[in-house]
Structure 1
Amino acid sequence: PRYQPLPQQRSTQSFSTANASGSTSQAASIIEAVEAGTTALLIDEDTAAANFMSRDRRMQALIAQEKEPITPFVDKVQQLYRDCGISTILVMGGSGDYFDVADTVIAMENYQPAEVTQVAQAIARQYPSDRVSEGGSHFGALTSRVILPASLNPSKGHRDVSLKVRDTDELRFGTEEVDLSAVEQLIEPGQLRAIAAAMVYAQRYYFDAQKNLSAVLDSVMKDIERQGLDVLSDRVVSDFSGFRRFELAAAINRLRSLKIRD
């Protein structure tokens, strides 16, 4: 929904890279969150890719749409809500392009919020951006992905399961290091320990090359809801902390050995 064919006509319908750009990473993270069942996105301008968020009229004039693979988020954000029912909350102070598509605008002054939607809309009318929408008429189709269970291998050497965590930034799953430093919702190492165990649990009981990722997340979270976090381990544990399906999905999606099929 966000990318045209890449240079050399590489399709984005089935695209993989070990060295993604900031805009590619952000686009993938949003689609992964949608796949995991999110109902809202929280995006901070400070940690967003500028060329992913918007493309002003001057840049559109310099680089024609057919030569630019990225569809700016500003042209997809309304479609995301209309077609998928997913809201977006943006924290930003550098671009007024979103005034044209925002349902609500809140300004902060001395840490106090003020609703300024009508003011922002008046400014948008007074100072039109003159940019051309590049988002088409619909958000776009989402592919249901099936994880191949053999690509989630927690073994290392003679150990059937080897799991280690480092603070809230990284977990080692077998021989693979999973970088979770940008998953800001993780606040406690016990969450990573539980997520690592949940990945093994999902690989053992639910990833069967038939169920899609969303269905597997449903099953794992239902088991935890019914039986508690202890269901994730063969032994009684006291160092697991609760997590959401979104953090589990983030860990699975950041596993470099992951292989999928449509």
Structure 2
Amino acid sequence: MKNSTDLKTLLLAINHKSYPAYKDTRGSYQFPGYLLSIDHVQGDPFASPSKVSLVIEGRQAGFPAGLFDTSYKRTALCDYLTRIFAQKIDRYNFKAKGSGKSGLISVSRCGQEVLERTACTIHPRTGTLTVHLEVGFPANGRTINSSELIKILYDFLPDCVTSSFYYQKLNARQVAEVIYLAEDQEYIRSQLSSLGLTAFVANGSILPRESGVSSRPMRQAIPFQSPKSLEVTLELPHRGTLSGMGLRKGITIIVGGGYHGKSTLLKALELGVYNHIKGDGREYVITDPTAVKIRAEDGRSIKKTDISLFVNDLPNGKDTVSFTTEDASGSTSQAANVIEAMEAGTSLFLIDEDTSATNFMIRDELMQRVVHRDQEPITPFLERVRHLYEAYGISSVIVAGSSGSFFHIADRVIQMDRYLPRDITELAKEEAKAFPALTLPGKLPAAPSFLRTPGYSSSVKGNSRVKIKVMGKDGISMNKETIDLRYVEQLADSEQTAALGYMIKYAECNLLDGKKDLRTIVDLLEQLIRQKGLAAVTESSYLPSNLAMPRRQEIFACFNRYRGLSLK
């Protein structure tokens, strides 16, 4: 095997040559303490940076097995190490000089959520660490400046690697605290169902965020405090006794004046499907991991989706058992989102009235008297929400600011008052008696059909040069097709969006045969990734450094919004 001396000799030999000579460096080189691989070399200094990976053998990294013996511990540990490494390389970023991206050193920038990423992985048995990063190979114009790359690979990088990925160089107490927090979070999540809960919000949590563009906690925000009637006390493995608000299964309505924290609480619940880092303020906001935020999504495409639970007898005679449109209305899009979430296996709907189609959510008694039920093709969610819970076990948390009709069907009503929750269930129920009770349709609906079989897009199938472009969390471009994900609000990181692009491409090239239904395809994707990691779906000579694992629910959402995909 080549070693670091061989690489340095090569770099000195190609100095001042034309930039393509850098491609001769591709390969693996043994450095003291780790193996460095140059996996992909950029075409010129202005192109996407070169891909570099590091492998630190488990016996050298030295992490005790108890820190990585479960998947959630491995995710937490690798997240922590990635954050440490990112801080270290920031000191050297662009310290090597040159044109374009020369001197760039980058790794995933982790947000407040703890996600499984390709940036850093640890082998479950050996403890061997693999790190993926990007480096801008330096040049003057398009002439190689290898002396600057030597600085990066022989001075900057070894310092960062040594202080980031060796257990003996780290603060053992801080590492242990990361794992302890992950164990406590996992314990809460594992207890939700047996306690009859859909979510838990710890007392003292800080729910408001710093700003609309920052997910860090707001300074001097009011700490969350559960009403006594909803308080649940847990005994965590490491934190010990922890009390907070337990949201029980069933139908929960959240009300309150404007700017009192209704949507802030719902947003925390949306992202409570992920673990959060220490200091985030939402470390102990834990939500059913299958929860899905449901909203209206005007203009989205819908393919062969059974929305007959909510929409029937359209004036144009359009089929709602296998509903298809390229330009959905607010109501039909929200109906499709509900059915698709059921298909993905959700146990909890999260709904904000502000982002919902009014005619999908509710029709009050006066409107029903003026426009009779048999003249209205939409059965509102309000009339189906109890059936969804009793027949399918799907709970709902609904933020309602304008209609008290929800009080009739609620199991509990929570009022947010200056960011503090109050249990007003008895008051709401008592006041609701003075108003007409909800009239439910007598006939129970048939169960929706989920057996949809996707075909493939001709622009992708058999095309080995499919270009995937990630547009932040907003969507993915695949050749000429764009998958709009702007309203898939539980995507926490653009690296999840990137991973979805590779999954869709892999599925089209390998799984979509016109015989497997969508559930089977997603099952196969998840099984492949569990066995071989995200590398399996990239089908690349090198593993991209910037992928993060999305949830099953977002994989379904991506398929469902892919206009180029045929479904039957």
Alignment TM-score > 0.5, same fold:
yes
Residues 174 and 149 (structure 1 numbering): CA distance in 2 closer, same or farther, change over 3 Å? farther
The question of 1:97 aligning with 2:405 is answered: yes
Bigger share in helix: 1
Deviation of residue 82 (structure 1)? Answer: 0.8
Deviation of residue 225 (structure 1)? Answer: 2.2
Q: Which residue of 2 aligns with 1:149?
A: 455
Deviation of residue 209 (structure 1)? Answer: 1.9
Deviation of residue 165 (structure 1)? Answer: 1.1
Residues 247 and 105 (structure 1 numbering): CA distance in 2 closer, same or farther, change over 3 Å? same
1:42-191 equivalences in 2 (<5 Å) = 42-125=350-433, 127-134=434-441, 136-151=442-457, 153-154=459-460, 160-191=465-496
Q: Which residue of 2 aligns with 1:198?
A: 503
Q: Which residue of 2 aligns with 1:257?
A: 564
1:241 is aligned with what amino acid? A
Distance 2:459 2:492 in 1: 26
Higher relative contact order (CA 8 A, sep 6+): 1
Identity between Structure 1 and Structure 2 (%): 38
**Is the Cα–Cα contact under 8 Å of residues 461 and 509 in structure 2 kept in the other structure?**
no
Q: Which residue of 2 aligns with 1:231?
A: 536
What secondary structure sits across from 2:456 in the alignment?
helix
TM-score when scaled to structure 1? 0.92
TM-score when scaled to structure 2? 0.44
Deviates more, 1:136-145 or 1:251-260: 136-145
- Max Rg structure: 2
**Is the Cα–Cα contact under 8 Å of residues 349 and 397 in structure 2 kept in the other structure?**
yes
Deviates more, 1:195-204 or 1:140-149: 140-149
**Is the Cα–Cα contact under 8 Å of residues 470 and 476 in structure 2 kept in the other structure?**
yes
What secondary structure sits across from 2:430 in the alignment?
helix
The question of 1:207 aligning with 2:512 is answered: yes
Distance 1:161 1:180 in 2: 19
**Is the Cα–Cα contact under 8 Å of residues 60 and 131 in structure 1 kept in the other structure?**
no
**Is the Cα–Cα contact under 8 Å of residues 147 and 258 in structure 1 kept in the other structure?**
no
C-alpha root-mean-square deviation of aligned residues, in Å? 1.9
**Is the Cα–Cα contact under 8 Å of residues 454 and 518 in structure 2 kept in the other structure?**
no
**Is the Cα–Cα contact under 8 Å of residues 382 and 406 in structure 2 kept in the other structure?**
yes
2:448 is aligned with what amino acid? L
Deviation of residue 14 (structure 1)? Answer: 1.9
Q: Matched residue pairs, number? A: 258
Q: Which residue of 1 aligns with 2:23?
A: none
1:30 is aligned with what amino acid? V
What secondary structure sits across from 1:222 in the alignment?
helix
Structure 1 runs, 4 residues or longer, greater than 4 Å off:
none
Deviation of residue 145 (structure 1)? Answer: 3.0
Deviates more, 1:247-256 or 1:231-240: 231-240
Distance 1:166 1:56 in 2: 41
Deviation of residue 208 (structure 1)? Answer: 2.4
Residues 203 and 211 (structure 1 numbering): CA distance in 2 closer, same or farther, change over 3 Å? same
Runs of 5+ consecutive residues of structure 1 not aligned to the other structure: none
Distance 2:458 2:381 in 1: 32
Distance 1:121 1:140 in 2: 30
Residues 251 and 103 (structure 1 numbering): CA distance in 2 closer, same or farther, change over 3 Å? same
2:559 is aligned with what amino acid? I
Deviation of residue 47 (structure 1)? Answer: 0.3
The question of 1:3 aligning with 2:311 is answered: yes
Deviation of residue 131 (structure 1)? Answer: 4.3
**Is the Cα–Cα contact under 8 Å of residues 54 and 73 in structure 1 kept in the other structure?**
yes
Q: Which string of whole-angstrom CA distances, capped at 9 and with x for unpartnered residues, describes residues 52-91 of structure 1? A: 1000111111111111111000000011111111111101
Distance 2:509 2:537 in 1: 10
Distance 2:445 2:429 in 1: 24
Q: Which string of whole-angstrom CA distances, capped at 9 and with x for unpartnered residues, describes residues 201-254 of structure 1? A: 222333222222112212211222232211111232211011001111111101
**Is the Cα–Cα contact under 8 Å of residues 454 and 517 in structure 2 kept in the other structure?**
no
Residues 177 and 200 (structure 1 numbering): CA distance in 2 closer, same or farther, change over 3 Å? same
What secondary structure sits across from 1:203 in the alignment?
helix
Deviation of residue 189 (structure 1)? Answer: 1.5
Deviation of residue 25 (structure 1)? Answer: 0.6
What secondary structure sits across from 2:436 in the alignment?
coil
